[in-house]
Amino acid sequence: MRTFVAPLLLLAMTDVGAADSPAPAPIAIAIHGGAGTLSRERIDAALEAEIRAALDAALDAGHGVLARGGPALDAVEAAVRVLEDSPHFNAGKGAVFTAEGRNELDAAIMEGHTRRAGSIAGVRALRNPVSAARAVMERSRHVMLVGEGAEAFAREQGLAFAEPDYFRTEQRWQQLLEARQREAEAKAPRASSYFGTVGAVALDRQGHVAAATSTGGMTNKRWGRVGDAPIIGAGTWADAQCAVSATGWGEFFIRLAVAHDICARVAYAGTPLAAAADDVVLRRVPDLGGDGGVIAIDARGNLALPFNTSGMYRGWIAVDGTRGTAIFRADE
């Protein structure tokens, strides 16, 4: 599924007063676990089942919040925490390694109707970076904190830390060794080394949307590089009508302000959500030389999940309750 146009809601809007007991306000959620050059050969049936189970668990966590009438902000945080806790995605546990063999984690969260936002970058030991981003939003006067300062803040706030071993997975370590080998041979890094992010967007019964994104960044990264995930407007954005979480080659997503640009096209050009997301992800990003994907939602529950790579780990529960998970393009 790439796009879902909410038919029930449109019916409900044109049929106001026709029903004796009005349907509850719509809720919907979409999640991603990263886009990239995924290969069927490297994902066997057992691994695929594990990945889909993690995606389903994240959907259940987020949608459960919405179904109980909870805010979209809580839903995206809950969904992203499940993905951070899974070793299969490059965020929290399972994060990739920097050139120094460490993990550096970035995350952001934003609530649309209040425009509140929080973001952290370059933290090393936080178990759930998305919750640290939320703490920045709710318990500081700031939006973005980075590095040791961000960790000091998180410690003051009593957030859960983890030992370096917690984040380590053998697959990510091997990716670092391979990246170092390619560098030693003066080969360009694999495009896939840029990828891997998790995120969620949601619509709650109050008609509010929110977005959250979390990542371990780029394999073999150095110099304190920050990608798009923690940049409000690039990898993460929410306003009153529209919310987006992105995954891809972060530099291109920053240079195009991807998440804000999609919502600006909806707001100012009146472009439907799916067309706006397609314009940016399928045309503007590749025109500049980048790749990746986004998940997007609007305040009517329309969903869009475009990507220009061979695959994107993704899942959704639409306003009519239909749900799914997918990895490759043909899975839809």
Element (H, E) at 329: none
Residue with tokens 């460490």: 102
Contact pick of 77, 261, 291, 298 for a copy of itself (by CB under 8 A): 261
Residues 151-210 that bind a copy of itself (CB under 8 A): 152-153
Q: How far apart are CA 316 and CA 320, in angstroms?
A: 11
Q: Which is nearer to a copy of itself, 8 or 146 (CB)?
A: 146
Residues 34-73 that bind a copy of itself (CB under 8 A): none
Is 126 a binder of a copy of itself (CB under 8 A)? Answer: no
> What are the distances in angstroms from CA 148 to CA 98, 106, 218?
16, 13, 19
Alpha helical stretches, state H, 30-169: 45-67, 72-85, 129-139, 147-156, 164-167
Two tokens at 192?
């896939």
Is 264 a binder of a copy of itself (CB under 8 A)? Answer: yes
Two tokens at 48?
């695929």
Contact pick of 54, 78, 145, 202 for a copy of itself (by CB under 8 A): 145
Closest separation between CB of residue 101 and a copy of itself, Å?
Answer: 14
Distance, CA of 93 to chain centre: 15
Is 94 a binder of a copy of itself (CB under 8 A)? Answer: no
Closest separation between CB of residue 34 and a copy of itself, Å?
Answer: 19
Q: How far apart are CA 175 and CA 187, in angstroms?
A: 15
**197 a catalytic residue:** yes
Q: Which is nearer to a copy of itself, 241 or 271 (CB)?
A: 271
Closest separation between CB of residue 270 and a copy of itself, Å?
Answer: 9
Q: By rule CB under 8 A, what count of residues binds a copy of itself?
A: 45
Contact pick of 16, 141, 184, 186 for a copy of itself (by CB under 8 A): 141
Half-sphere exposure of 331 (CA within 13 A, CB side): 18
Catalytic residue among 37, 98, 169, 197: 197
Q: Which is nearer to a copy of itself, 118 or 199 (CB)?
A: 118
HEC states along 236-291? EEECCCEEEEEEECHHHHHHCCHHHHHHHHHHHHCCCHHHHHHHHHHHHHHHHCCC
Two tokens at 257?
């302000």
Q: How far apart are CA 33 and CA 314, in angstroms?
A: 6
x/- map, 267-296, a copy of itself, by CB under 8 A:
xxx-x----------------x--------
Q: Which is nearer to a copy of itself, 55 or 280 (CB)?
A: 280
Q: How far apart are CA 37 and CA 311, in angstroms?
A: 6
Closest separation between CB of residue 255 and a copy of itself, Å?
Answer: 4
Is 150 a binder of a copy of itself (CB under 8 A)? Answer: yes
Interacting residues with a copy of itself (CB under 8 A): 110, 115-117, 121-122, 140-150, 152-153, 222-227, 231-234, 237, 250-251, 254-257, 260-261, 264-265, 267-269, 271, 288
Residues assigned a catalytic role: 197
